[in-house]
């Protein structure tokens, strides 16, 4: 069985002007689909593994055959991270519900959370992701390199920001902080709240 790329459930231009149409087209149709294709290729000879969810594969990387472990880590991570990322994007959503309360309790205020998340994202060297995770029942901001997903470390991601240059370079070039600021205008907080509640 092959993994199928997730379709966007909104138009490529739905996030304008914060994330532009061209970036969404290239990011989804080329980069993301490429990860799914490479994951399928890596698992071609392993029919028993093809029936597992990508989450299961990434939670148990050390149980995978060594010859495909790195490919699954990179391509499976790319497939899962982006599938989640697309769902996390929506305009005109405001933080509310249990997650709003949990953020206030953990960080003191939403502004303080935003500051810490932005800071971690700006400082990440090279390509990777910044996440809000639930770790041992606690909210935490973490970053990962490349396409690593926090579930490989036993954490549950509920919000993720793609900080690869392919995610923002067409519109923002080297201005990563502007991209991060724009991201805060298109976070789908209903979805984050749903992930948060599911984590409990
Ligand atoms: Mn990406």
Q: CA 18 to CA 182: how far, in whole Å?
A: 5
Q: Could you tell me the CATH number of the domain that includes residue 185?
A: 3.55.40.20
Which residues span the domain enclosing 153?
97-199
Tell me how far the alpha carbon of residue 17 lies from the centroid of ligand 1, in angstroms: 18
pLDDT, one tens digit per residue, over 80-119 is 999 999 999 999 999 999 999 999 999 999 999 999 999 9
Nearest in space to 85 (alpha carbons), one of 171, 169, 176, 166: 166
The single-letter DSSP state of residue 200 is -
One domain, residues 172 and 108: yes
pLDDT score, position 1: 76
Instruction: Count CB-CB contacts under 10 A for residue 187.
Output: 20
| 88 φ, ψ (degrees, to nearest 5) | -90, 0
As given in the structure block, the two tokens for residue 95 are: 């933080």
One domain, residues 59 and 113: no
Tell me how far the alpha carbon of residue 133 lies from the centroid of ligand 1, in angstroms: 19
One domain, residues 104 and 180: yes
Tell me how far the alpha carbon of residue 167 lies from the centroid of ligand 1, in angstroms: 5
Half-sphere exposure of 141 (CA within 13 A, CB side): 18
Q: Please tell me the pTM assigned to this model.
A: 0.97
Cβ(45)–Cβ(184) under 8 Å?
no
Strands 128-135 and 156-162: antiparallel
One domain, residues 125 and 50: no
What confidence tier does 48 reach under pLDDT thresholds 50, 70, 90? very high
pLDDT, one tens digit per residue, over 112-157 is 999 999 999 999 999 999 999 999 999 999 999 999 999 999 999 9
Is it the case that residue 196 has pLDDT exceeding 90?
yes
């Amino acid at each position: 069985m092959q993994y199928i790329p997730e379709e966007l459930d909104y138009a490529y231009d739905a996030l304008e002007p914060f994330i532009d149409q061209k970036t969404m087209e290239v990011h989804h149709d080329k980069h993301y689909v490429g990860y799914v294709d490479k994951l399928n290729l890596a698992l071609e000879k392993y029919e028993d593994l093809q029936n597992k969810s990508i989450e299961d594969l990434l939670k148990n990387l050390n149980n995978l055959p060594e010859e495909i472990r790195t490919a699954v880590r990179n391509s499976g991570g790319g497939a899962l991270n982006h599938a989640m990322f697309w769902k996390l994007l929506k305009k005109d959503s405001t933080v509310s519900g249990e997650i709003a309360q949990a953020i206030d309790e953990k960080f003191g205020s939403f502004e303080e959370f935003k500051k810490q998340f932005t800071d971690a994202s700006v400082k990440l060297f090279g390509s990777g992701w910044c996440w809000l995770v639930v770790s041992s029942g606690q909210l935490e901001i973490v970053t990962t390199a490349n396409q690593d997903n926090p579930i490989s470390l036993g954490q549950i991601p509920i919000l993720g920001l793609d900080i690869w240059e392919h995610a923002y370079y067409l519109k923002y070039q080297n201005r990563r902080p502007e991209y991060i600021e724009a991201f805060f205008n298109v976070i789908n907080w209903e979805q984050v709240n749903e992930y948060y509640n599911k984590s409990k």
